[in-house]
Amino acid sequence: MLKIGCHLSISKGYLAMGEEAVRIGANTFQFFSRNPRGGNVRALDIEDIRRYLDYAKEHEISVILAHAPYTLNGCSAEEKTRGFAVRAMKEDLERMEYLPGNLYNFHPGSHVKQGTETGIQYIVEMLNTVLWPDMHTTVLLETMAGKGSEVGGRFEELRAILDGVKLSEKMGVCLDTCHVFDGGYDIAHSLDAVLDEFDRIIGMDRLKAVHLNDSKNVLGSRKDRHAKIGEGNIGAEALVRMMNHPDLKKLPFYLETPNDLDGYAAEIKMLCGHYQEEM
C-alpha cells in the first residue's frame, strides 16, 4: 500500500493531525516539531499523544515525520544560533521518545561564508552531541537545493556528514524531489542515473522518506520553490514514476506542495490512483 501524507499543522495536537490525515485520505503525515520560524514549542500533552497512538493503530497510520524548524541551523557562524540548534534538536528528540519508531527530519543548514567543510564539521558535532545509543527515532538529513550557502545540495556532502556521526546507524536521508531537481539532479529524465548516484555515494539503505513536490524552477536553478504536482518543471508523470520505482515505492511520501487541505486530498487521491500495488 502506498504510504502517502502531507504536511499538517500541529496546532491542535497529535490526535487532531491523525484525524485530519484520515479525513483527507492520507495514512501518514508530516508536522513541525516546533514553530518553524521562531522555535517555540507547544506544551507536551502526554494524554493527547496516548490518544493519538491508539487512533493511529486503529486507522493504520504508518511512520510519521517530524520536521525541525527552519530556524535550526547547526552550522551557523553565530555560536548562539548553533547553541539553539543543539538544544532544540535534543529536546525535540527527547519528545519523540513518546512516539517511538518515527522519523525526524532537518535541513543540514547554511554555513554562511564559513565554507562547506566547516559547515559539515559543525553539523557533525551537533549530531554527536544530541544522538544517544538507545533512542527510538531515525534522524534524517534532507537533500537541499544548494541555495545560497546551504549544505546538503550534493550527495557527497550528506555522505561526509554521515561519515562523521558516531551513531550513524540512527541516521538516514529524506529525498526532496524539488530540492534535488533544483540542485541539478535530473529526476524528470534520468531517474535511474540519479538513484544509482545516490546509491553509490550515500547508499539506498539510508533513504527513509521522500518529500514529493514539483518545482517552480528549472533543473539546476538552486532555488527551492515547491509547486503543486503537475504544475511545475518536474511534472506529474515523472513524480508518479518515482512513486512507483521499485527502490522507492515502499517509502513514505510526504507532500509539501502549496495546497490547502482540499488540494492535498485531491493530490493524494490522484497519486493513489496511479500507484501500482505489488502483485
Instruction: Tell me which residue has its CB nearest to Zn ion.
Output: 142
DSSP per position, 12-74: T-HHHHHHHHHHTT-SEEEEESS-SSS---PPP-HHHHHHHHHHHHHTT----EEE--TT--T
Do the beta carbons of residue 184 and residue 215 sit within 8 Å?
no
Q: Respond yes or no: is residue 245 known to be catalytic.
A: no
Of 82, 95, 111, 211, which is the active-site residue? 211
Q: What does the alpha-carbon distance between residue 178 and residue 63 come to, in Å, rounded to a whole number?
A: 22
Q: Respond yes or no: is residue 224 known to be catalytic.
A: yes
Instruction: List the one residue out of 231, 232, 253 whose CA is nearest residue 242.
Output: 253
Q: Respond yes or no: is residue 45 known to be catalytic.
A: no
Q: What does the alpha-carbon distance between residue 222 and residue 85 come to, in Å, rounded to a whole number?
A: 24
Per-residue x/- marks for Zn ion, 212-251, CB under 5 A?
A: ----------------------------------------
130-149 residues in contact with Zn ion (CB under 5 A) are 142
Q: Respond yes or no: is residue 142 known to be catalytic.
A: yes
In the complex, least distance from residue 36 CB atom to Zn ion, rounded to whole angstroms: 9
Of 142, 182, 214, 267, which is the active-site residue? 142
Of 92, 157, 176, 214, which is the active-site residue? 176
Q: Which amino acid is at 2?
A: L
Q: Respond yes or no: is residue 19 known to be catalytic.
A: no
In the complex, least distance from residue 103 CB atom to Zn ion, rounded to whole angstroms: 12
Q: Which residues are catalytic?
A: 37, 67, 70, 107, 142, 176, 179, 211, 224, 226, 256
Q: Which residues bind Zn ion (CB under 5 A)?
A: 142
